[in-house]
Structure 1
Amino acid sequence: MAERAAGPLSLPGDWPAQPDLSLSLNGMGTFDWDLASGLLYLDDQALDVFDTAPEEYDGRRASLADRIPPDEGARLDAVVARALGDGSTGYGAYFRRRRRDGTLRWTHTQGSIRRDDEGRAVRVIGIVRDAVQELADSTARRELAAVRRVQTTVVETTTAALAHARTVQDVIDVLTESGGLEHLGASGLVMGLLEAGRIRLVAEGPEGAHVPDVRVTRTDEEYPLNEVVRTLAPRFVESREEFALCYPDLWSHIRGFGINAGAYLPLIAQARPIGALGLLYGDKEGFTAEDRNLLVALSSGIAQSLQRAVLFEQDHDLAEGLQQAMLPRRIPAVPGAEIAVRYRSARLGRDIGGDWYDIIPLPGGRVGAVIGDVQGHDTHAAAVMGQLRIVLRAYAAEGHPPATVMARASVFLHELDTDRFATCTYAEADLSTGTVRLVRAGHIDPLLRETDGSCRRLPVPGGMPLGLSAFFGWLDYPVEILELDPGQTLVLCTDGLVELPGTDLDDGMGHLTGLVRDGPHDLELLADRICAVVDERGGDDDGAVLLLRRGGAGGPSPGGRLQQRVARGDPEGLSTARHMIRAAVGAWGAGARADEIELAADELITNALMHTGNGAVVNVRVLSGAERRLRVEVEDRSSTLPHRRDAGESGVSGRGLLLVDLLSDAWGVESRGSGKCVWCEFAVPDRPSP
């Protein structure tokens, strides 16, 4: 309404512009090509595109031969011929033209095809224009898109790799190995963790670079890692001069390593700094906005992964300490035996599990060997394992037979109010005779390595796992008796050394059998080899192995064993026991101490018959070793332990144990599962050589 009130509009005299003017002002020329005559009309702007003067052009395409390279002309002709022949109404193409100075420039042409009533192409009318800037802009966009794709790929691949990093070293390896630094254009990496107000370096830059006294620094010291931790802002050093000006102490040590720029990034997780990362460059010319955004985004993922790694290592240290506390601190020396043990931690979870081993010295020179596995891979499994190991050791040390040890351990685990069960193998070995009593509770079979190195599986009948047998009330555990010859080795292990990825139990047992067979003779080296091979094969479960070899000629050898039962109120049995002791003393070359041995033995037997209300079992045997000894054992079914007491001047009893103490070289009391055993030992001379 306002425009109408103001009167008619004032417009330029040549408005609207003619098409030829519009095209000319926008750098476009026109052409008209008559296909029948072959004449090609080019207006002045089109001739200018081809860098050709009007007088140089005669209206024929051949006049442009010097302006269109042959290969470009052939490609353009093919596009036009295809459009003319397939009934198209138009075409468009990019081609290069040659200017007078010889340079090539991109050109774009677009033609509209006119056809007669029968559809034959008779005329092409179109435009031609310079396309250099257009393609330059397009190329720039493609290059930028390519850069962004590369950056996105770097972030995605690095983030994916960091997802599998479990330790701080794993994080460093992801960034330094497999071309990680090359993708970022960096030549070195430095990383520090924040610990109690100090920065501790965990990666120290380019190989060979060393800055003294910076492995642990205070956060207020003037180093770039410390600065970004203080400010929580990234720091980009873009030249050698900036390095020298801002960090002279650091630059004096690294200037010889070809570094000219650095990007230092705070590592922030859950809104608090946990450390800092530095990327060092040898040929960087400043940091673009894209560079900075990429590195900041990448530092966030690295910080999250690093925090997981730090927490994992803390958990690992805690778990490893707990596991070591649960396992025996040392393995006792066992005369007549070689023993090697190993525990291999899990590779997943918290690196802790319920596997354990134990060696238990038993009365009478026997030894108990235990291998077991509590269900699960966590601190609860380790805690249950520790309790189970202790009670099983206590039951065995009390003298209970192997089947009873297993049954009582199962009842204990069932009453522990836990949902875990356990598998276990318990071997009670008498190294003087070589007799081994084996009991298996749901565990894998043991192996036996012969003196010639061959190895075989021992099919030991077994009962249910500990805890489950008590739950179902099936507490019977069959006992397998094995004769272990000198030089033979009993191999006990948990399923973590057998059940490996891609194999079933039988395949795993076969592989372990071959490994033991082909392994070194030395038990310590053999144990190391077993664990190392399992690591190489990628086992994810924890595992334990116990190797027990009976000694050869240097170990204990049986010197004879005699046994006599004496019932209470049985004078004949008492007399027989005395005759047995007297005969053994003479037969075994201990006649020089016959009176002492017989008197001490008589006191032990009499005490058992008088003070326990039950009968007694008398054992006499010779122990060989560094010193040959004759041992007298008197077992009874009373748990009351004897003790020395003062008989007084007029007392008629109370001097028995005093006499035993004075006459023997050693004496003691051992708890047995059904009572106790009182024993005494006498050093006797070696038998003369025949």
Structure 2
Amino acid sequence: MSKGEPTGVGTESSDSMRSQSRLMLVLQAFAAAPADQDIPNLVISQAVAALQAAGGVVALVNGDRLEPLASRGYTRSEQRACGPLRVGDLSLPLTSAATTGEPVWLASQAEVAMRFPRIVELVSRDERAYAVLPLRAAGALLGVMGISWVQPHAFSASDRELLLALADICAIHLQHWRRHDDGLGDHDDTSVARMPPSAVALAPLVHALTGSDTIEDLARAFAEQGAAAVGATFSNIAVVEPAATGPIARLYHVSSLVPQVAQRYQAIPVDGSTPLGAAMSGRDEVWLSDLEQVGAQFPELLADTAAAGLAATASLALIGREGRVIGALGLGWDAPQTFPASQRDELKEVAKLVADALVRAQMLATERAALERSELLHHILTALVASASLSEVTAAVFVDGTAPYGAAAARLALVDRQHPDALVTIAAVGLPEGLEAVWQPGAGAPLSPLSDERSIAATVYLPTLEDLVPTSPDAQAALARAGLRCWLGLPLRSGSRTLGSLVLAFSQENALGPTDLTALSDLGAAVSEAVSRAVERDSDHDLAVLVQRSLLAEPLPNLSDVQVSARYLPADARYGIGGDWYDAIPLSGGRTLLMIGDVAGHDAGAAVAMGQIRAAARALAPTNEPARLLEELDRFVTSSSAQTMVTAAAVLLDPRNGRLTYSLAGHPPPMLRQPGSKVHWLEVVDPPLGAPIANRAQHTVELAPGSTLVLYTDGLIEQRSEPIDASLLRLAAAIDDGPVDSSDRLCSSLLDRCLRDAPRRDDTAIICAVIDPVVPSR
């Protein structure tokens, strides 16, 4: 690398070149393998060598068992730990990948111990890193390939691309080997009992597919390189896109295609009018051996097929998750083809490779979009906290004149004080002119987000165009022209008072999932409080309390395995207000993240900073363990908050697995009461947020059914008349004496015992959790 070359660019380029070189060596080994080669051992030996790993194993799924076929670099005891194993067991990396069909990345022994403690018991090495890759071929999961390193191994983007590419290639060869080994190989005169002759030619395509992180990059990669990989003359790909008039697919052509022909086929309907459309609509393959077949089945395409210099074509559907058609690939040859079974099988395997890569690209696109929405929502919530006028509220919601949360259209409307039965539009974007005038359902008609009288009373979510039931043909035509296929109406309320509504419309059906609806419910609550402040113009103290209450998680979510209740009490007016906050965030697998924190200070600035930190924590919670979450908040506080002191506690409840995991940043210790035992403190506290600490401590303890957990801020325990240890003992005694079956009554009891007749110099937050006595295990 030259001295002037940027380090990141040079490293990325060299890593990519090394990955492609390793792939080529592996594929050359496969292509040169004799017919009687032991393919499982060849697969794992080539993979271990290419990845410079310590060992590896290939295991195939056989019914509900995962059986090892070959291993490299393992002792006998380690080989026994590889199986046979039971599919469905999520406690080991191999069976987890075989059960979920998802890769497992474990970069260090600590990560292995956290996620799969059983493997530490089964295999004794000081340091270990793992990657387990599902092996898929012909639309089915064959098994898994596990690779291990003695030392920690950080999986860079190039590492993951190489591993995924190797898994795809190995799956193809294992599938061919298994068919030959079972006597199921082809018997026509074109078949051979060895690996596909185009194995080496697959390398550039596989590398390009695994290196493409956007849908467009992937589609263009196949359009340009797909033909060479399978010995064809031409290749293109169609990717399904939802549309208001029915599903269509965007086409990506090879650059050498006749421009006039390419221009006519930029998008096609998913129907039987074209070979690609027929493959997608029928979830099948369309084989056209010569121009005579093209003319017989698709006469309108005969001239264009001939103009492109093609004499035979093949179109294969791309199947994604849950059996959903996500596109189709097309291939063409300049000479007629007989399409023997061996050639068809090879093309089907390539289609599976492309489908898997397209699924990954679509998932990445979804993740990027969700991250962008989350970041924008965070900015909106932060701006709403600081807004003091309707114009500032509008500017916060409609950032740069766009609809929030990726919506195609939005309207913010408030109740007209002079005419309480009518709404006045304060701001709107993307709504077609005249839509509101034609879409006013009459008495008895189903709810709609634009129904002024009713959408302001309750949230209305209409996921598809069919759910929008207009009362006139004019309204139906207006909706169809608008291309807005999914609607959400959020009520804006302050207590029992109706303020107005926020309406969002999306161009894609079923645009919002449960997580989106929860996030937008938070947005509706924040807009309600901001509008209420702007309209009423309360005193500074009341305004700050409203800001604070609007950012606390009330009402808390209803959870299946745990009761959660909370209270917030502002400081007495003469002491000002503070920055206490709490939250309860439901996560997958019956888990719940409880958070509580305190921003130092007693002014509106503390409340604003608190709101920013809570919003950041909620956005980070679904993808971070407690310690990692606090580390991310460290960076947020350092870069975004002017406060010098922020404490927080993050506690992850996992009742179904009987675990409680926590991390503390300068915060008073949570108190845990197990059934039949006295309260004990969860101590071991790291410095407050924003302190220069690289790795925060995280601890896991047993969580028995019927346990009680209490998180609180120092306003609950600190009194000038007694030392802090005495205050903690007083709180512990109150928990021991408190109710064991109701989180709500426990909150009330603790506030009464600890704050009765005492002046509140600091605001106070408390959150109590009671684990159900009977919790279903995983």
- TM-score under structure 1 length normalisation: 0.34
Q: Please identify which structure carries the higher helix content.
A: 2
| Greater strand content | 1
Higher-Rg member (1/2)? 1
